[in-house]
């Protein structure tokens, strides 16, 4: 069981949250100009690092807000959690 800290509610059990996949995936600026391949890259292709990984979570049983979590995929250690309008701690990768 992960213990995740919601930026608004504090530490709560993982069962109170929903997972939302990789964070910081920007929406294409000109989606109409993308080739099918580029669109597929945007929609389906995600990083799968071993180590720190920024991902979205939602506190669905608490305040129902989305936020980002920096989690180590090898150890499951939750390194940081931060609001959507805050930059990723430690810069991007």
Partner 1 sequence: MRAAGVTGTRGVTLVERPFLTMLNLRVDPASEAAGRIGGTLGVPLPGECGRTAASGDRTVLWLGPDEWLVVSEGPAADAELTAALDGGPGSVVDVSANRTTLELSGPAARQVLEKGCPLDLHPRAFGPGRAVSTTVGPVAVLLWQVDDTPTYRLLPRSSFADYLARWLIDAMSEYRGPEVP
Among 25, 40, 43, 61, binds partner 1 (CB under 8 A): 61
| 72 scored as a contact of partner 1 (CB under 8 A) | no
- The residues in 3-22 that bind partner 1, with binding defined as CB under 8 A, are 8-10, 12-13, 15-16
* Tokens matching residue 77: 């250690």
Q: Is 84 in the site for partner 1 (CB under 8 A)?
A: no
DSSP designation for 87: P
Q: How far apart are the first and last CA of the chain?
A: 26
DSSP-derived pairing of the beta strands 18-22 and 3-6:
unpaired
Contact residues: partner 1, CB under 8 A: 8-10, 12-13, 15-16, 61-65
């Amino acid at each position: 069981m992960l213990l995740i800290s919601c930026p608004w509610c504090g530490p709560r059990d993982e069962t109170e949250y929903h997972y939302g996949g990789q964070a910081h995936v920007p929406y294409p600026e000109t989606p109409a100009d993308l080739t099918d391949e580029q669109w597929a890259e945007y929609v389906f292709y995600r990083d799968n690092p071993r180590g720190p990984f920024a991902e979205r979570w939602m506190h669905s049983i608490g305040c129902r807000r989305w936020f980002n979590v920096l989690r180590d995929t090898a150890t499951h250690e939750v390194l940081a959690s931060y609001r959507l309008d805050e930059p990723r701690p430690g810069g991007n990768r």
